[in-house]
Amino acid sequence: MMFNSGYLLFALPALLFGLYAQFRIKSAYSKYLRVRSSSGMSGFEAAQRLLRMNGLEQVQIGEIPGQLTDHYDPARKTLGLSSSVARSASLAGLAIVAHEVGHASQDSQGYAMLKVRSGLVPIVQIGSMLGPILFMVGLLLQFTPLAMVGLVLFSGTLVFTLITLPVEYNASARALDMLTTSGLVTSREEERGARAVLSAAALTYVAATIQSLANLLYYASILTGSRRR
């Protein structure tokens, strides 16, 4: 059941694309983490400057463990920066900091897609937990309607990843804009580097959407296969 033709058709290509996206972000990140930014500002200092520029002094900046764990938390109004981003004066750090400040500015301006995404989180959490269980139980009991309900619940993840795309692309557009207007990025060369990091990061969100769609199609193919038997 687990390795029907749907696996080769949908799940496997999506998985490979996901691995490729991971490879792209990791290599862009490690490449530009070694490129020192001309501003000489650490990620922490750059975050302070960009927040101030956007009138977002109330946002707290904290250091968090891990790599590429940087994020903005709209509920707590905090910016979490990983140590290597916060402490280095790298181009990768600048791009990531500006992207997260981009999310903070979306939040302060009430950017609609961010609101929709935040509202979806609890629904998606329940759906992604219950969906697969209901689906499996429905299959085992050969009760198709239950499996269908599982599939629909599970599809919330796809909706979430789809809404995430404009949110992420918009945050990166804001980031590039901020980096040039603030004078943190001064040359074409630096702009290209920041763009490379942000595009690689965006690719991981595209991969997540494709993966989510592929999973759904894969489950659907299991269902149609089991009904045919």
Which one, 107 or 168, has the nearer CB to Zn ion?
A: 168
The least CB distance from residue 66 to Zn ion, in Å, is 15
Q: In the range 47-66, which residues lie near Zn ion by CB under 5 A?
A: none
State the catalytic residue, choosing from 45, 57, 63, 100. 100
Nearest-Å Rg of the Cα atoms of the chain is 20
137 phi-psi bin (left φ>0, alpha ψ -120 to 50, beta other) = alpha
Which one, 94 or 223, has the nearer CB to Zn ion?
A: 94
Burial class (CB in 10 A: 0-12, 13-18, 19+), 76: exposed
The least CB distance from residue 184 to Zn ion, in Å, is 18
Which one, 36 or 76, has the nearer CB to Zn ion?
A: 76
* Catalytic-residue membership of 57: no
Which one, 168 or 190, has the nearer CB to Zn ion?
A: 168
**Strand 78-82 vs strand 60-64: parallel, antiparallel, or unpaired?**
parallel
The least CB distance from residue 99 to Zn ion, in Å, is 6
Neighbour count for residue 75 (Cβ, 10 Å): 8
Distance in angstroms (rounded) separating the CA atoms of residues 96 and 78: 15
Q: In the range 131-170, which residues lie near Zn ion by CB under 5 A?
A: 168
The least CB distance from residue 228 to Zn ion, in Å, is 42
Residue 158 exposure: Cα atoms within 13 Å on the Cβ side: 14
User: Are 134 and 149 spatial neighbours (Cβ–Cβ below 8 Å)?
Assistant: yes
User: Are 37 and 85 spatial neighbours (Cβ–Cβ below 8 Å)?
Assistant: no
The least CB distance from residue 25 to Zn ion, in Å, is 12
Which one, 151 or 198, has the nearer CB to Zn ion?
A: 198
Q: In the range 166-195, which residues lie near Zn ion by CB under 5 A?
A: 168, 171
The residues with which 71 forms a beta bridge, in sequence order, are 80
How many residues bind Zn ion, per CB under 5 A? 2
Residues lying near Zn ion in the complex (CB under 5 A) are found at 168, 171
Which sequence positions are flagged as catalytic?
Answer: 100
